[in-house]
Amino acid sequence: MRRYLPALCALLLAGCASSPEVKQASGDVGLALAALDDAREDFRDVFLRELDATQELVARAIVADAVVRVVEGLAAEEIDGNLIVISAAIRDERQAYQDLTATVARTRPRANETPGDVVARVLAGKAGDLRASADLLEAAGSGEAAAVLRMRADELEDGEVGIPQFGDMETLVILTVAKADVRQGARELGAYVDLMQLVHAQVHEWIVTDVTVRGDRVAALIDEHAATLGLSEPVAPDPGGGP
C-alpha cells in the first residue's frame, strides 16, 4: 500500500499547471479514494462473515462427532432402549462440546504458541475445572459422579490422544487468528487510505486554486499526517520531484 502514495502525489503534483483536465482528474482521484475506503470495509465484512460461517460449521462438526461417539459408546455398553440415559448422555456431551468449542474459538494464541498449544491450554483449563468439581462432589459423598468427572479430565489432559476432535479444534484456532489478521490488515489499509485522502484533500485545494507546490511541501504534508495517524514509516515523494 505504501508504494502507491508517492505515485499518487506525483500524479497530483503533475497538475501544478492546473488545466481543467488536471483539476477534473484530481477530483476523480478523491472519488476513487472514497470508493477504495468503502470497498475495504465491504471486503473486510464479507471476509469476516465467511470466516465466522466456516468456524461455525467446524464447531458443529466437532459437536456432532462427539455426540455420535457417545451414542456408539452407549450401544457398546448395551444400554439399549433406555431413552432417559441416552438422552441425558447426549445432552451432556453436546453441552460440554459446545462450551469447549466456544472457548477454543475465542482463545487467542500467546507469544510463540501454535494452534495445538492453544487447544492443549484450553483442554488443560477445562480439566482443572472438572477436577475441582470432582473434589466437591466427592466431599459431598458422590464418589461415583466424581470418578466420572476425573476420567473426563484425564481425557482432556491427554490432549490429541484423548480428544479425537483435537485437529478440528486446531482449525478453530487458525480461523480465529485469520479473523484477527483480517481486522488488523483492514485497519492498516484504512490508515493508509486515510493518509492518501488527507494528502489529496490539501493537494487538490492547491490544484484548483492554481497554487504551485514544491515536492518538499508535499513531503512535509505527508510526514505531518502520517504522524497524526500513527504511521511510523510514511513514504514521501522525492523532494525535488515537484514543480
Between 4-13, 40-49, 174-183, 191-200, the lowest mean confidence (pLDDT) is in: 4-13
**More confident of the two residues 169 and 84:** 169
Cell of 220: 512535509
Task: Cell numbers for 241, please give them.
Answer: 520531484
Gap between the terminal Cα atoms of the chain: 25
Alpha-carbon span 149 to 130, nearest angstrom: 6
* Number of structural domains in the chain: 1
What percent of the chain stands above pLDDT 90?
A: 26
Q: How far apart are CA 207 and CA 181, in angstroms?
A: 38
* Residue 8 amino acid letter: L
C-alpha to C-alpha distance for 180 and 188, rounded to whole angstroms: 12
Distance CA 99, CA 16 (A): 63
The residue behind cell 484456532 is: 173
**C-alpha span between 174 and 115 (Å, rounded):** 6
Cα distance between residue 96 and residue 130, in whole Å: 11
Residue whose C-alpha is closest to residue 219's, from 204, 205, 199: 199
With beta carbons less than 8 A apart as the criterion, state whether 33 and 193 touch. yes
How many angstroms separate the CA atoms of 30 and 198, rounded?
A: 10
The alpha helices in 77-165, defined as continuous H runs, are: 83-105, 115-139, 143-157
Query: Which pLDDT value is given to residue 18?
Result: 57
The pLDDT value recorded for residue 56 is 95
Range of the domain at 190: 4-241
Residue 77 has pLDDT above 50, yes or no: yes
User: Based on the number of CB atoms within 10 Å of its own CB, is 194 exposed (0-12), middle (13-18) or buried (19 or more)?
Assistant: middle
Per-residue model confidence as pLDDT tens digits over 164-216: 899 999 999 999 999 999 999 888 888 888 888 888 788 777 777 767 666 67
Name which of 8, 5, 14, 6 is nearest 242 in CA terms: 14
Decide: residue 13, CB within 10 A, 0-12 exposed, 13-18 middle, 19+ buried: buried
